[in-house]
């Protein structure tokens, strides 16, 4: 035998074992169901694109982060590093045919050669949804409703969607004569925001705002004006108090007034649609580093684990695909960070650790032909009950050990005599409780025990 | 504005628009449900692996087909070109912990820099399932049951699972003293097999078997013995006639006898489990080029489109992961070719062309606030009815045009007066039939019209 090759994955990459893959599939399926229930349609794009498409012409700055190489045709190609850029290319290419508004979701892996500290992976999944081709506030509101429905469907009750509108900040900057410094202010605020999150954790109550002001000053912003920006971004209160504060301070500015109006409408409609009040919080401190957001901004935090950061973020942008088309494509959307969410669920111990993908396990006896068990299994599957027949008639104890280790919920036990008398034993593996049931009621009994009702 | 970048995909790659992505998601979900209902658990592996893992040490021969490059750490890495090799690596690494038997499914994209003629793509999806760690014929039988359930769940009634067992061929080769020529014979038979498929199409009834014999002779096989192999491979008849023919000709050979026994048991159990007889056909002509199959072999053809080739193939192998571990891992499995299946469904015109992911569309009137419609939508979604609220109160005609183009089934139409009188209009978009319904019965009415029963 030749030397063995060491089986291993690349640094920053990982296998998904069943215990992690089962919840991943469940979350993806729930996301699909929620996105579809709002009329978002699925798309997919290739993992590989021309580097020019992904980075723009030139675009050497992200070089270190992306997996870029020459293919056999000497094309300069790369693996996508997010789903937004491929969607912009997709939109430029297909939206003229598909028409607007175009509502899509897209779920898939992306690749970044990032530093692998802090549990970051170089391959991770994103689940994006966007509505493009409209500036209507209805779409911004819908995005908030989708985020709420998504987290609720995944099983969370305690979470907060932080919402802001860049127009408010833009209005303030206009009033302060700082409109041309907006990028510098955004960068500084982004820093401030992480401070705010740390504060919320009560871990570093004494971090001042001066470092943020200093950063602004470095970029040519007057210190006093910088403090005014932070006074706004740092204002705390109920949603109503925050909106009143903004209106009072500089409500005469048309941009700020528009921002307040859009946020107000969002709050009202969300309440009418049944979103609990405590789940939506206006947070003037969220700015999001990406320069291309221009209106509503979303970040979503788990109340029981805010330190993991936002698990669903997004916002409104003026133009998605300006690199590829002259057609203006304003829109709004957000992205669910699947791997961060799974990490949070692991930390909160709400992943079951189940490896079994079917709930029922059929034990085999050596004296009964496999066909008898497969026929029984086929009957159960036709009634919507997933069932695994063990591959060999090993000792009953060994078979049950396998079933317990994998996390099956019930074992169905029947030997030749039982098939003759038409009685089957159902054993609940966690409690080891068991009882005999007549053949005619076995399906309804299992469906009841599994909580899936009658067929 | 800078020069625009031309939006385009790489040669051999394609976008999935909603009209193709909706059926792809449906097939994947059905496959997931079927695999799980037999107890197969999901896994995933990285898209990128060490080239050494994918190609073995050396392994320059497949060089042209794979996307291979150096990463920023100067590692020699490549994109996976199938799901089998990564699974072998995975099994060597994790099965010692996970235990055997290990039953997994894995669905995802793979990449090959192939010639793009004949509609081949360089990125395509595979959906594999395997049971490893056992030689039990129960697992071979289960693989046939899974393939049958899979195709049935996807919606096909007319298909044939062709099944063979390499042991029969091995037995014949032993009897002929050709055991050392098995690879040459397999290659020649593979050629013969495509001839057999062409024959089934009645397009080339006169292609002889002599070219196949000639190929064998080139590899040192005696011509007369070659013809004996082809006499076997070409034998046609009912399943029972074929098994009787093999038993009569060289049933004394232990390998051949074992092959016959395994195939017989498979046919009996499949029948007992409710697989229609006509769906399973013993076909001694299928050999499958891959040298690593050693027992049962499967290929699956759509009766209405056999020319597209096998859409689900696989078989039993003696050792999955010999490159990476000394632990012997025999197993059996098969792979559903998702893109080939979608191409077949396109050709058979059984894809709906629907772009809408929700069935119901809500028309908006300018005089009614968006909150009223979103509240209605939230009520419908809570009752399991997917619904899109249009983003703007445009003219009713424009809104209905959008809804028709996207393929929504029903429009729900209500203005201020209707909300006051609690009457809603439901319009079936395909027939343009419409009627008014009282608010209290709108959910049950829509659920009935959508065929999803009462909540």
SS3 for B110-136 is EECCCCCHHHCCCEEEEEEEEEECCCC
Tell me what the mean pLDDT of segment B149-178 comes to.
93
CB contact under 8 A, A8 and B50: yes
> Across the interface, which of B17, B272, B375 has its CB nearest the CB of A272?
B375
Q: Distances from the Cα of A87 to the Cαs of A51, A250, A265, in angstroms?
A: 15, 37, 29
A276-280, A285-289, A410-414: segment of lowest average pLDDT: A285-289
**Nearest beta carbon to residue B94 from set A17, A79, A131:** A17
d(CA A194, CA B104): 42
Confidence at residue B304, expressed as pLDDT on a 0 to 100 scale = 95
Q: Pick from B267, B322, B391, B400 the residue to mutate for testing the A interface (most A CBs within 10 Å).
A: B391
pLDDT band at A209 (very low <50, low <70, confident <90, very high): confident
List the B102-111 sheet strands across, edge first: B41-42, B102-111, B123-132, B331-337, B312-317, B293-302, B159-165, B280-282
Q: Which residue out of A1, A29, A37, A262 would a mutagenesis test of the B interface target, given it has the greatest number of B Cβ atoms within 10 Å?
A: A37
Binning pLDDT at 50, 70 and 90, where does residue B228 land? confident
CA distance B229 to chain A (A): 31
Asked if B108 and B87 count as a contact pair (C-beta separation under 8 A), the reply is: no
Identify the weakest region by mean pLDDT among A78-92, A228-242, B238-252, B409-423: A228-242
| Domains of chain A, start order | 18-347 (3.30.930.10), 360-450 (3.40.50.800)
Instruction: Compute the nearest-CA separation of A262 from chain B (Å).
Output: 13
CA distance A400 to A353: 18
ipTM of the complex: 0.91
Is the pLDDT at A439 greater than 60? The verdict is yes
Using the predicted structure, report yes or no on whether residue B113 has a pLDDT greater than 80.
yes
Q: Do A72 and B56 count as a contact with CB atoms less than 8 A apart?
A: no
Give me chain B's average pLDDT, please: 90
Q: Which of B414, B151, B439, B150 is nearest to B305 (CA)?
A: B151
**Residue A69: which of B16, B69, B405 has the nearest Cβ?**
B69
Of B99, B323, B370, the CB nearest to A269: B370
Check: CB of residue A412 under 8 Å from CB of residue A426: yes
Q: What pLDDT, in 10s, does the model give residues A46-105?
A: 999 999 999 986 555 556 789 999 998 899 999 999 999 999 999 999 999 999 999 999
- Average pLDDT on A159-170 reads 94
- Phi, psi torsion values for B83, nearest 5 degrees: -100, -5
* Predicted local distance difference test score (pLDDT) of residue A192: 65
CA B331 from centroid of its chain's CA atoms? 19
pTM across the whole model: 0.92
pLDDT in tens, A8-44: 999 999 999 999 999 999 999 999 999 999 999 999 9
Contacts of B32 in chain A (CB under 8 A): 25
Of A48, A93, A356, the CB nearest to B41: A356
- Interatomic CA distance for residues A357 and A22, integer angstroms: 7
Chain B residues whose beta carbon lies within 8 Å of the beta carbon of residue A136:
391-392
User: Could you tell me which chain A residue has the CA closest to the CA of B12?
Assistant: A46
| Chain A nearest CA to B401, separation (Å) | 11
Note whether A355 contacts B98, CB cutoff 8 Å: yes
List CB contacts (< 8 A) between A71 and chain B.
Answer: 10, 67, 113
**Per-residue pLDDT, B62:** 56
Q: Is B220 exposed, middle or buried (0-12, 13-18, 19+ CB in 10 A)?
A: exposed
For residue A77, the chain B residue with the least C-alpha distance is B10
For residue B113, give the nearest of A71, A90, A372 by CB distance: A71
Torsion, CA B375, CA B377, CA B380, CA B381, rounded to 10: -110
Q: Is pLDDT at B75 greater than 90 in this prediction?
A: yes
pLDDT > 90: what percent of chain B? Answer: 72
User: Rounded CA gap, B265 and B142, in Å?
Assistant: 11
Look-up of token digits 């650790």? A353
Whole-angstrom distance, CA of residue B203 vs CA of residue A196:
74
Q: Mutate which of A1, A33, A41, A455 to test chain B, going by most B C-beta atoms within 10 A? A: A41
Distance from CA of A44 to the nearest CA of B (A): 5
B429 versus A192: the higher-pLDDT residue is: B429
User: Distance between CA B402 and CA B408 in Å, rounded?
Assistant: 9
Instruction: Give the CA angle between residues A311, A316, A321 to the nearest 5°.
Output: 105
Does the pLDDT at position A289 exceed 70? no
Q: What are phi and psi of B314, to 5 degrees?
A: 175, -160
User: pLDDT digit string (tens) for B9-39?
Assistant: 999 999 999 999 999 999 999 999 999 999 9
Q: What angle do CA B319, B321, B322 make, to 5 degrees?
A: 75
Residue B203: per-residue pLDDT = 41
For residues A289-315, give the mean pLDDT: 90
Interchain pair A9, B46: CB under 8 A: yes
- Tell me which chain B residues have a C-beta less than 8 angstroms from the C-beta of A124: none
CA distance B271 to A169: 71
pLDDT above 70 as % of chain A: 92
Which of B16, B34, B41, B262 has the highest number of chain A CBs within 10 A, making it the mutation to test binding with A? B41
Least Cα separation, residue A59 to chain B (angstroms):
13
Do residues B411 and B363 make contact, with C-beta atoms less than 8 angstroms apart? yes
Per-residue model confidence (pLDDT) at position A98: 93
Output DSSP code: residue B289: S
Contacts B352 to A, Cβ<8 Å: none
Query: pLDDT value at position B47?
Result: 98
What angle separates helix B223-233 from helix B166-175, to the nearest 10 degrees?
A: 150
Query: B205: distance to nearest CA of chain A, Å?
Result: 40
Percent of chain B at pLDDT > 70 equals 92
Q: How much is the pLDDT for A220?
A: 81
Pick from B10, B355, B392: which is nearest to A134 by CB? B392
- The DSSP call for residue A134 is -
**Inter-chain touch A15–B94, beta carbons under 8 Å:** yes
Cβ distance of A15 and B90 shorter than 8 Å: yes
Binary contact (A42, B25; C-beta < 8 A): yes
Beta-carbon separation of A15 and B93 below 8 A? yes
Q: How does residue B335 score in pLDDT terms, banded at 50, 70 and 90?
A: very high
> Would you call B41 and A22 a contact, using CB atoms and an 8 Å cutoff?
yes
**Distance to chain B for A142, nearest Cα, Å:** 8
Give contacts of B42 with chain A, Cβ < 8 Å. 16, 18, 21-22, 24-25, 357
Please give the average per-residue pLDDT across A105-114, as a whole number: 94
pLDDT at B201: 41
Report pLDDT digits (tens) over B96-111. Answer: 999 999 999 999 999 9
Question: Does B6 have pLDDT greater than 80?
Answer: yes
Is the separation of the CB atoms in A84 and A128 below 8 Å? yes
Q: Which residues contact B432 (CB under 8 A, 6 or more apart)?
A: none
* Residues in a beta bridge with B123: B111
Residues 6+ apart with CB under 8 A from B267: B239, B280, B282
CA distance B407 to chain A (A): 11
Answer yes or no: do A324 and B4 touch at CB < 8 A: yes
The dihedral through the CA atoms of B433, B438, B439, B445 has a sign that is negative
The verdict on a CB contact (< 8 Å) between B50 and A93 is no
The angle at the Cα of A51, spanning A47 to A54, to the nearest 5 degrees, equals 70
Backbone angles phi, psi at A367, to 5 degrees: -80, -5
Q: What is the pLDDT of residue A3?
A: 86
Residue range A347-402, pLDDT digits in tens: 998 887 677 789 999 999 999 999 999 999 999 999 999 999 999 999 999 999 99
Which pLDDT value is given to residue B196?
57
| pLDDT at residue A204 tops 50 | no
Decide if A48 contacts A79 (C-beta within 8 A).
yes
How far is residue A159's CA from residue A6's CA, in Å, rounded to a whole number?
Answer: 43
* A67 contacts B48? CB cut-off 8 A: yes
What's the pLDDT tens digit per position in A166-184? 999 889 889 988 888 777 7
Contacts of A130 in chain B (CB under 8 A): none
The whole-angstrom separation of Cα A55 and Cα A86 is: 11
């Amino acid at each position: 035998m030749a030397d063995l090759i060491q089986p291993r994955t690349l640094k920053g990459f990982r296998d998904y074992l069943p215990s992690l893959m089962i919840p991943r599939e469940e979350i993806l399926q729930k996301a699909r169901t929620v996105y579809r229930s709002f009329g978002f349609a699925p798309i997919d794009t290739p993992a590989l694109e021309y580097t020019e498409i992904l980075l723009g012409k030139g675009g050497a700055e992200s070089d270190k982060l992306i997996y870029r190489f020459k293919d056999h045709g000497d094309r300069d190609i790369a693996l996508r590093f997010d789903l937004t850029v491929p969607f912009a290319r997709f939109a430029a290419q297909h939206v003229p045919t598909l028409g607007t508004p175009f509502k899509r979701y897209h779920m898939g892996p992306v690749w970044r050669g990032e530093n692998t500290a802090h549990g970051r992976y170089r391959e991770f999944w994103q689940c994006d949804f966007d509505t493009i081709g409209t500036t209507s506030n209805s779409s911004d509101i819908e995005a908030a409703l989708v985020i709420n429905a998504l987290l609720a469907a995944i099983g969370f009750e305690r979470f907060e969607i932080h919402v802001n509108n860049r127009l408010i900040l833009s209005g303030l900057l206009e009033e302060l004569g700082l409109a041309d410094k907006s990028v510098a202010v955004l960068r500084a605020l982004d820093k401030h925001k992480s401070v705010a999150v740390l504060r919320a954790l009560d871990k570093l109550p004494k971090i001042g705002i001066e470092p943020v002001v200093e950063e602004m000053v470095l970029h040519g912003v007057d210190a006093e004006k910088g403090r005014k920006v932070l006074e706004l971004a740092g204002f705390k209160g109920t949603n109503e108090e925050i909106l009143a504060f903004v209106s009072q301070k500089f409500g005469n500015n048309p941009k700020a007034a528009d921002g307040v109006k859009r946020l107000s409408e969002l709050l009202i409609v969300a309440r009418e649609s049944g979103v609990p009040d405590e789940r939506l919080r206006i947070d003037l401190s969220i700015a999001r580093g990406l320069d291309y957001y221009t209106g509503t901004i979303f970040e979503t935090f788990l109340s029981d684990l805010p330190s993991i950061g936002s698990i669903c973020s997004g916002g409104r942008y003026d133009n998605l695909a300006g690199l590829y088309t002259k057609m203006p494509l304003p829109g709004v959307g957000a992205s669910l960070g699947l791997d961060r969410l799974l990490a949070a669920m692991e930390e909160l111990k709400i992943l079951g650790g189940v490896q079994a993908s079917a709930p029922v396990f059929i034990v085999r006896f050596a004296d009964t032909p496999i066909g008898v068990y497969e026929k029984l299994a086929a009957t159960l599957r036709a009634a919507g009950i997933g069932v695994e027949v063990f591959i060999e008639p090993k000792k009953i104890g060994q078979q049950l050990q396998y079933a317990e280790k994998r996390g099956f919920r019930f074992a169905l036990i029947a030997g030749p005599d039982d098939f003759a008398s038409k009685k089957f034993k159902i054993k609940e593996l966690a409690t080891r409780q068991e009882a005999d049931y007549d053949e005619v009621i076995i399906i309804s009994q299992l469906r009841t025990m599994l909580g899936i009702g009658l067929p």
